Structure 1
């Protein structure tokens, strides 16, 4: 409903097509969790916008977990349960302050979060087939496909590599709801440049 013929060619779509996701990353409150633009090679004081298309998001309630590993275990449980197993691609995790404080307290940085999520969500191809997953990322196996030689050793996860698990810290101070965004295609990262005579709005 509300779509315009010809212009809107999506079969169903999702609300983000219209409202979009606007995330202002919390850059300074968690020193061990470097902002995304810094991880992508920009200076700390650079103003940078990152734009990506997403096929939607998954919200995870992570309120009872008391340490960093428990948080990661719950994230992996949700992602695997959602059928997000692949050999390629990437994923964006939005972690709210309530969970970020635990990661900082336990001495975790983003690299460790990425590695832990990637490893924790890894499954063998044989496991994925046995549990009815339709694998993506170039495999395109049908559900229930026969287990073949090598499937017990080959693995899939929620992204192509640990570096493809992107993490941002955003959201309000109350509520431990981690969000996973599933990108559709690549992303554009662009510094915001304004003329010296023009003030940047506060």
Structure 2
């Protein structure tokens, strides 16, 4: 998770200056390793929220619009998310060690995550659901 946290805290992202949502995309291999070691999505969210932050002097008065929620005025260090539920975690992709972090695109953007519904009305749970039988 250290590499994921490092990716969340790049100074080139909007989250460095304005805490908000992000999406963590884990490969099936990484998800399996984390599950084996006792992690679940809630524990991962809590850990990333607690660890992904910047020292306030590093981000004060920076960014396109240096505005932060009032509740963050005296926060140190400055978290990149407002709360753990800002972190959406999905498992996607193929085998291998290339998980990713998707940071927000604009100021105060919110992610919208909706299930993929198959033509028969079922919610897709796996890529296997898309295979023609």
1:1-202 to 2 correspondence within 5 Å? 72-83=1-12, 84-129=15-60, 134=63, 138-139=67-68, 153-173=75-95, 175-184=96-105, 185-186=109-110, 187=112, 189=114, 192=117, 194=119, 202=132
Classify 1:193/1:78 alpha carbon distance in 2 versus 1 (closer, same or farther; 3 Å).
Answer: closer
Measured in 2, the distance between the counterparts of 1:104 and 1:195 equals 31
Instruction: Give the aligned length.
Output: 115
Q: 1:190 to 1:182 in 2, by over 3 A?
A: same
Give the 3 Å change call, closer, same or farther, for CA 98–123 of structure 1 in structure 2: same
Q: CA RMSD in A?
A: 3.2
Q: Is the 8 A contact 1:121 1:157 kept in 2?
A: yes
Q: Which has the larger radius of gyration?
A: 1
TM-score, normalising length: structure 1 = 0.46
Contact 1:128 1:135 in 2 (8 A): no
Unaligned 5+ segments in structure 1 are: 1-71, 140-149
| Contact 2:17/2:59 (<8 A) preserved | no
Deviation of 1:165 after TM superposition, in Å, equals 0.8
Most deviating of 109-118 and 179-188 = 179-188
TM-score normalised per structure 2: 0.66
Change over 3 Å in CA distance of 1:182–1:92 after alignment to 2: same
Q: Greater strand percent: which structure?
A: 1
The structure showing larger relative contact order (alpha-carbon pairs under 8 Å, at least 6 residues apart) is: 2
